[in-house]
Chain A
Amino acid sequence: MFNLENVQALVRMAYLPHASDAFGEQGTRAITALLDAVKLIYQRYPPESLRGTLTVVVGMNTTPATPMIAAWGGPTTFQRYEELGNALAVAAVGAHCLIELMQDGTFRFLQLETDIDLQAAAADALIYRYNDGVDRILAKHHDDYVQKVSPILASNFANATLSSLKEALSHYSKFALETKCRILADVWEGGADGPRLVLVNRPESIMRDSLIQALQLVLRDANVRPEHNTDETKPVDVRVEWFASGAAALIEVKWLGRSTARSRNPTTQPTYTDYGPPRAQEGASQLADYLDREVRHSSSTMTRGYLVVFDARRRNVQGAADPLVEADAMHFANDVLLYCPDYAQSRDDFAPPVRFFLNPRKSHFATA
């Protein structure tokens, strides 16, 4: 059943009814037009590439001859979304870009050095604002922050829909690098805002859940679900199946680095589990073995194995709160894991292994 507090929080920031409340039937129509336009803009120029803010407005009492944003400068008229994308691509660093949707389907575009007063502008307009990963929608006195459905999205209105698992894993690697995923944040002793040197005890299920959530969101027409590893003969962590194609992927998750170990006889001294490259090789061999058995038992006609390695290795690591100099903390950042045997070379159903290096927090580096 639903968490009532969650529902109440969603309703407090519910921009859809707020648009109607502010501007009546016109607001109800305008909000879907606004969201559709924002999504179409982001399909031409993604929010993570913006170098400043983006504001998209629908004026309630404007005409193509009297655009609202003319109050802040002389806007350029565009006819197509491609033109808007090009304009955003060449906008100056730190620029405040304004786009107004007109009733005749055209756009007005303006680039400003100083920001506008959003609340004042919202008195007579429905306004979407993007600034540094935060979506807001304003309508009269309503100022709603849009709750993100996933931290791997820069904006709820800009979702990558990818067909290939390789692309999706590459997409995810950018978020894993700085532990931007809320689920993955729990993987660190001291949290994602701590030094990020030592992993928590048994971190693999957290990594798996983070990866599953990300793949569920970005993979098109694919079902992503965890596998239950009941014993060593079934090591695979994630199964991906594409609709009606017979294609499937099996993902094995391994981690490298140091994690806190939970001793059966608790002592005051922490103990650790350390994994290096042999752990990745072990995962590769387990996956290859499992793929052999999958061929015999699965109805899937095209199953491919993926080894995913979360790499949290630090040179000379001690405890979770013992700072390291940058050279040690980043020593493995660009390391290449070598596999022998290299199944990706010797068999068609084994994809090249993927390594996600997890960065330490730079602000916690020790001074040499």
Chain B
Amino acid sequence: MTSPADIVPEAYFDAAAIMVDAPASIVPMTVIEAHLYAYLGCILGLFKGQAIGDWGYAFAVTSEGFPFSVQFETARSVIVARGLINEDGQGMMSARRDELVAEIDSLLTLGSWADRRLWLHAATQCALALPVGSIRNAIGQTPGLGASVRLGQRRHLLQTDDVELLYEEYGIVSSVLGADVKDLLSPAVIWLSARILRMEDAPVV
């Protein structure tokens, strides 16, 4: 049984925000897709200067190779149990919109989460430009992660070397895109696309 003390507020907010703000074309979504968008939102926050340690909860890669957060999953389960998200027999989730919007409005009075809502929204919007399968593969391609997946090991994500690599890649995208581009979605989609292209150039390992 999950007690209120077990719920990380940021994870609860993120699980609600992802479902309520996701574009219509990407819902219903699966549980693992919700974790993917939360993880991508965390990376986009990193690009905008949010410290990983301040995100509120951590991600790991599962033995099957999926980004996953125990805290996010606990929060998501609570929201489903409260009837704010419908989950069908195949694990496909869709929001009960009016109730979830009211919940988000209430949460926004409790914490300064407007920025993370933007990052999470941009994360879900990336799936408008790129297939979700390619997004998952693109963000899973860090050197340490690839080795862990091949060995079927769990591993914490966004370790120091991962973060340095992400900063370097985002720096290249930002420098080519130029200072005039203010939105978050454009550099995010180009960063993901560049990772996809790099995968195509490289042999499958």
Give the complex CA separation of A14 and B204 in angstroms.
27
The proximity string for B residues 161-202 relative to A, scoring 1 for CB distances below 8 Å and 0 otherwise, is 000000011001100110011010110011001111110110
Main secondary structure of the interface of B (DSSP, over half): helix
Judge whether B131 and A156 touch: CB under 8 Å.
yes
Judge whether B193 and A149 touch: CB under 8 Å.
yes
B66 within 8 Å of A by Cβ?
yes
The proximity string for A residues 202-220 relative to B, scoring 1 for CB distances below 8 Å and 0 otherwise, is 0000001100110011111
Give the complex CA separation of A212 and B204 in angstroms.
8
B1 within 8 Å of A by Cβ?
no
Give the complex CA separation of A149 and B127 in angstroms.
13
Shortest CB-to-CB span from A32 to chain B, Å, is: 6
Q: A2-B169, A10-B193 are in contact. Are A223 and B134 (CB under 8 A)?
A: no
Give the complex CA separation of A183 and B90 in angstroms.
33
B64 within 8 Å of A by Cβ?
yes
Shortest CB-to-CB span from A44 to chain B, Å, is: 11
- A96-147 contacts to B (CB < 8 Å): 147
Q: Which of A16, A36, A161 has the most CB of B within 10 A?
A: A16
Q: Nearest A residue to B169 by beta-carbon distance?
A: A2
Judge whether B24 and A11 touch: CB under 8 Å.
no
B25 within 8 Å of A by Cβ?
yes
Q: Could you say which residues of chain A place their CB within 8 Å of the CB of B60?
A: none
Judge whether A28 and B66 touch: CB under 8 Å.
no
Q: Could you say which residues of chain B place their CB within 8 Å of the CB of A11?
A: 176-177, 190
Judge whether B149 and A16 touch: CB under 8 Å.
no
Q: Could you say which residues of chain A place their CB within 8 Å of the CB of B31?
A: 243
Give the complex CA separation of A27 and B185 in angstroms.
13
Give the complex CA separation of A15 and B26 in angstroms.
20
Judge whether B200 and A209 touch: CB under 8 Å.
no
Say which residue of A6, A28, A183 sits within 8 Å of B194 (CB atoms): A6
Q: Nearest A residue to B130 by beta-carbon distance?
A: A149
Judge whether B204 and A3 touch: CB under 8 Å.
no
Which A residues form the contact surface with B (CB < 8 A)? Answer: 1-4, 6-8, 10-11, 14, 16-17, 20-21, 28, 32, 35-37, 39-40, 43, 147, 149-150, 153, 156-157, 159, 161, 163, 182-183, 208-209, 212-213, 216-221, 223, 225-226, 228, 241-244
Q: List 20 A-B contacts (CB under 8 A).
A: A1-B172, A2-B194, A2-B198, A6-B201, A7-B176, A16-B129, A17-B186, A20-B181, A28-B183, A35-B129, A39-B25, A147-B193, A149-B196, A150-B134, A161-B132, A161-B133, A217-B133, A219-B133, A220-B133, A243-B62
Which B residues form the contact surface with A (CB < 8 A)? Answer: 23-26, 30-33, 62, 64-66, 90, 125, 128-134, 137, 149-150, 168-169, 172-173, 176-177, 180-181, 183, 185-186, 189-190, 193-198, 200-201, 203-205
